Structure 1
Amino acid sequence: MASNMTYYCTIIYITFILLLCKNVQGIVPAVYVFGDSLADVGNNNHLELSLLKANFPHNGVDYPGRKATGRFSNGKNFADFLAENLGLQTSLPYLSLSSKSNNTSVYLTGVSFASGGAGILNSTNSGTCITFDQQISYYSTVYGNIVQQLGTVQAQDHLSKSVFAIVIGSNELLNYAKSNSGNKATPQQFVDSIIPTLQGQLKRIYNLGARRFVFIGTGSIGCTPALREQNKTKECNAGGNYASVLYNQAVSSLLNEMSTQVTDMSYSFLDTNTVLLQYIQQPSAYGFTEVESACCGLGDLNAKVACLPISTYCSNRSNHIFWDFYHPTEATARMVVSTAFDGSAPLVYPLSIKQLAS
């Protein structure tokens, strides 16, 4: 009898702890991910004609099984750590699921539509990635399947409790910063030209049931090894960083405007540019020793040649901010998402992801 009582008490205690953890972490039913290579978990692997892939060594050298999965990283990326912090499995890439469309229950745990090379504009890396507009169209199909499976009321309830994560804009800013055209628009003019398109895209996602938005802003574009390498001094590209500041400000304003227009929408925005600059300017405080060179690549700053099987890579990835000439290491991604999850203003606002999910 005593042993049975101990058994039941143990079960009750474990259940209590699990419920407590769930409450503390603000677990959500699903995460739907949109964006570019910072969040791509394998969609581009299924694009036969695209060269924008990372499904080969040395990518994935620190991923479980040391396998290149299509992530542009030595290990996990933003999408992985977002799911991990929410107590969920990483949302599977949509193109790996489309052939299993009869089993729509898989969509209820979240889907990733993110694609390396994608941007706000359909012209960005056209033909080599899943554009943001196409990602939303794919999500529209998923939305229809969920409604058919659960009914309109339950589907809306499910989606309103889920997180919709967006990581987009870096590719436009990189293209702008790399452009040497003498008559190109000012950074403000360029940002102003793309924000209306983004506004329409976010409204489409909202109209398809999204209510909790997580937006990971663009990082210090000008400090990527690719843009540093173009400067004789190897300093950050000031124009690229300034464009990122303006873009993040514009996105923040856009989200705030949307949330005042529709009272059932909430959001969390991360000023990734400021977060990364802190790492770059005070590396030792965050455990980094290399802020300029890529870990994997060839040539000056390891930024002349991409991270390919012929490239060399550093032995200690955790002390590098950048994995290749554009993308952060797993260590950087983990820290960035941790700030987004638990941080506070002025880095993340008006809610942290943890608060948004609660």
Structure 2
Amino acid sequence: MGRRWILLVSLGIYVASMQYLAKADLPAIFIFGDSIADVGTNNFLKSLARANYPYHGIDFPNSKPTGRFSNGYHTIDFIAKQFGYNSSPPPFLSLLQHNLSFKSNILRGVNFASAGAGILDPTGIQLYVSFSHSFLVFFKVGMIVGRKYISQNEYAHIRVPLYVRICQKIMFLQFLWPFLLKEFIKKVQEAGIEEKLVTHPWDVVSLRDQIKQFETVCGNITEVLGASKGNSLLSNSLYLITIGSNDIFDYQHSLRSRAIPPQTFLATLHDTCQPFEVTQSIYYQHNDLEFESQTILIYTMVEDLYNLGARKFGIISVPPIGCCPFQRFLKRSEDGGCFEELNNLAQAFYDAIRDVLTNFSTEFVEVKYSFGNAYAMTTSIIHNPLTFGFKEIKTACCGNGTFNGEEECNPNSKLCPNRDDYLFWDWFHPTEAASELAALTLYGGGNEFVTPMNLSQLATIPIGI
């Protein structure tokens, strides 16, 4: 409770009028995004981006690893709790496993978020890589070798495949030492095993596909409730979206194989947001896999949700991802500083999405939104950790190596005993304590962190269709 009240005072939440933050009558919550919001979607995919093994979930009820990249609950869970839910709505792919109850279960909301997903369709599919020929082959070899020796996996009893570990190590090597891979690829080609390799090792559900899943949900809601009541439920529900970090990470990694200056990326974010256009060819180029130069419109994706009935949007921006333990490790500075190039991209991304939302709500006046500035919230904690009850803001609670940022959280990781003192859970994601602070700020914070209104205010606005 002490940490909660520290947050209420420090982040401008209306302590004097807590009754104003009473739970609104919110029909349903629909969630879109990446690993910050994924509550188990990727458990149902052939994906390396999974968290359904220890130490993930160590502080979740019964210490259950649910697929959340956290020691416990996500920010999305705590937001849902503010509206009277026990946690986030279940994943769409989980609900599909129960045909008899699917139509009734979706009436209170669905979580579509998928770890590794981005705004761009190819984001995350190739494991944060530059799509260079060398990495793809090296990665695929790891898949084959890992499967061959799966019986020797020391994690087999907790379902952490050895090939996952091998591929994650390969990802790390590719990022730091791409020149080593060129020689390896030469040997692979000489051995003639290239054609035997797997093509797409990491499945994610892109934002575009998440919206397609939501379209299926909309049809079922209309079938159950009828057109009028169905439209009313959809228009008065809350649509939470947290995405964009993986697009920036992928852009960063693409620099290893193609010299694209950050200014080009920033210009793309700023200059084409009416609507916001991003051309895939700016990010990725691969010698053998031709990615068609396709324009992706964030504006259009939001419009797709609008056309399906969405009216209340809660958007969470990209945090200062250059300050996560993995990036601090990669920078290798004496003071353990942040990777400011990534932070600059995150700030520019915030500006671009802000313009998208302003333009969209101007064109469609019945649309209401709350835009959370995760960058400002996180930097406030980094600059004043003790004010918010944190003691460690550089090192991850679970991991290995420098800042515990050299390796993903796993059963052999170093694990901190005092998890509430840490800002970061693993090499990329926040702890449950940090997630709760973020949720309370998004729900009841002031304009410094949430504009033009917070989520509690957004939820009380009636929408008539």
Question: Is contact 1:177–1:222 with CA below 8 Å preserved after alignment?
Answer: no
Q: 3-state SS of the aligned residue for 1:291?
A: coil
Q: Counterparts of 2:356 and 2:446 in 1: how far apart (Å)?
A: 19
Q: 2:315 aligns with which of 209, 212, 215?
A: 215
Amino acid at match of 1:315: P
**Aligned partner (choices 279, 294, 302) of residue 396 of structure 2:** 294
Q: Quote the residue 1:108 is aligned against.
A: 107
1:274-325: CA deviation from partner (whole Å, max 9, x where unpaired): 1100000110110111111111001111011110111111111111110001
Q: State whether residues 292 and 301 of structure 1, in contact with CA within 8 Å, keep that contact through their aligned partners in structure 2.
A: yes
Q: Which amino acid aligns with 1:312?
A: K
Q: Which residue of 1 aligns with 2:237?
A: 162
> What is the TM-score of this pair, normalised by structure 2?
0.70
Partner of 2:204: 129
Q: Identify the residue that residue 363 of structure 2 maps to in structure 1.
A: 261
Aligned counterpart in structure 1 of residue 259 of structure 2, from 183, 196, 211: 183
Q: Does 1:120 align with 2:196?
A: no
User: What are the within-5 Å matches in structure 2 for residues 1-358 of structure 1?
Assistant: 24-47=22-45, 49-89=46-86, 90-103=88-101, 104-126=103-125, 127-181=202-256, 183-185=259-261, 186=263, 187-192=265-270, 195-196=276-277, 197-233=297-333, 234-358=336-460
Aligned residue-pair number: 338
C-alpha deviation, 1:337, in angstroms: 1.1
Q: Is the CA contact 2:320–2:375 (under 8 Å) kept in the aligned structure 1? A: yes
For residue 85 of structure 1, report the CA deviation from its aligned partner. 1.1
Residue 22 of structure 1: how far off its partner (Å)? 10
Aligned AA for 1:46?
Answer: F
Aligned CA distance change for structure 1 residues 223 and 211 (closer, same or farther; 3 Å): same
In 2: Cα distance, 1:330 partner to 1:153 partner: 39
**1:101 to partner: Cα distance:** 3.8
Amino acid at match of 1:91: P
- On the 8 A contact 1:321/1:331 being kept in 2, the answer is yes
TM-score (norm 1): 0.91
- Could you give the per-residue CA deviations for residues 62-89 of structure 1, whole angstroms, max 9, x where no partner exists? 1111110000000000210110111123
How far, CA to CA, are the matches of 1:240 and 1:208 in structure 2? 34
Q: Which moved more, 1:179-188 or 1:28-37?
A: 179-188
Separation (CA, whole Å) in 2 of partners of 1:26 and 1:157: 16
Counterpart-to-counterpart distance in 2, 1:199 and 1:168: 14
CA contact (8 A) 1:166 1:216 kept: yes
- Alpha-carbon distance between aligned partners in 2 of 1:275 and 1:354, rounded to the nearest angstrom: 18
Please list every run of 5 or more consecutive structure 1 residues that lacks an aligned counterpart in the other structure.
1-19
d(CA) in 1 for partners of 2:409, 2:61: 19
Offset, 1:180: 4.0
Contact preservation (8 Å) 1:40, 1:116: yes
Q: Deviations over 1:170-217 (max 9, x none)?
A: 111122234444721424135357933211111111110111000011
Within 2, Cα distance between the matches of 1:99 and 1:76? Answer: 23
Contact 2:231 2:309 in 1 (8 A): yes
CA–CA distance in structure 2, aligned partners of residues 262 and 24 of structure 1: 28
**In the alignment, is the contact (CA less than 8 A) between 2:21 and 2:444 conserved in 1?**
no
Q: SS in structure 1 opposite 2:446?
A: coil
Amino acid in the other structure paired with 2:459? A
Change in CA separation of 1:283 and 1:179 when aligned onto 2, cut-off 3 Å: farther
Name the CA shift for 1:329/1:129 in 2 (closer, same or farther; >3 Å).
same
Q: Deviations over 1:264-283 (max 9, x none)?
A: 11000001001100000110
Q: Which has the larger radius of gyration?
A: 2
Q: CA deviation at 1:346?
A: 2.2
Unpaired runs of at least 5, structure 2: 1-17, 126-201, 278-296, 461-465
| Paired amino acid for 2:373 | D
| 90-99 or 266-275: bigger deviation | 90-99
2:172 equivalent in structure 1? none
Shift of 1:23: 8.3
Contact 1:297 1:303 in 2 (8 A): yes
Match of residue 16 from structure 1: none
CA contact (8 A) 1:176 1:240 kept: no
Task: For 2:259, give the aligned amino acid.
Answer: N
The residue aligned with 1:13 is: none
Identical columns (%): 36
2:124 and 2:250 in contact (8 A); partners too = no
Q: Give the CA deviation at 1:21.
A: 7.3
Contact 2:442 2:454 in 1 (8 A): yes
